[in-house]
Structure 1
Amino acid sequence: MEYGKDLKNRLKRIEGQVRGVMGMMEEGVDCTAVVTQLSAIESAISRAMGLIVSRNLEQCVRANIEQGEPTDSLVKEAVSLLVKSR
């Protein structure tokens, strides 16, 4: 699978958010603010995982259709990956 520039940029933003939280912790910022930022990071990671799985699924389904192969197992595998990530 090819990971597009948009996905890489998402992860760079998440990386920046994590650095920001580290800075907040070093500065002794209130735990509520830290947890709020961690929650935002968690959501961003979940969205990135969902996007990766959906794009991969789309590519695999297209390839299987072109080759005349079934797609049922691909969908089940994608759902399983998303469920595991929760």
Structure 2
Amino acid sequence: MDYTEDMKNRLKRLEGQMRGVLRMMEEEQHCKDVVTQLSAIRSGIDRTIGYVVAKNLEACIREANSEGRNAEEEIQQAVNMIVKSR
């Protein structure tokens, strides 16, 4: 699978958010604010996982169709990846 610039940029944004949370902790900012930011990061990670899995699934289905195969196995693998990430 080719990882797109969009996928990499999503991770770079999350990396920046993580650095920001660490800075908040070092500055002894309020727990509620830190947890709010951590929740946003978790949500961003979940969305990124979904995006990567969806793009991979698209590619696998296209490949299976072009080869005349059933894509059921690829679909099940994608479902399993999403379930395991929760």
TM-score, reference length from structure 2 = 0.98
2:3 is matched with 3
1:49 is matched with 49
Distance in 2 separating the partners of 1:18 and 1:39: 11
CA drift at 1:5? 0.7
Q: Which ranges in structure 1 are unaligned for 5 or more consecutive residues?
A: none
1:3 maps to a residue whose letter is Y
1:8-67 residue CA offsets vs partner (Å, 9 max, x unmatched) = 111000000000000000000011000000000000000000000000000000001000
Distance in 2 separating the partners of 1:46 and 1:19: 18
Summarize the alignment of residues 14-53 of structure 1 with structure 2, pairs less than 5 Å apart. 14-53=14-53
CA drift at 1:70? 1.2
Distance in 2 separating the partners of 1:6 and 1:58: 16
Percent of residue pairs identical:
52
RMSD over aligned CA atoms reads 0.5
1:66 maps to a residue whose letter is S
1:65 is matched with 65
* Equivalenced residues, count: 86
TM-score, reference length from structure 1 = 0.98
2:40 maps to a residue whose letter is A
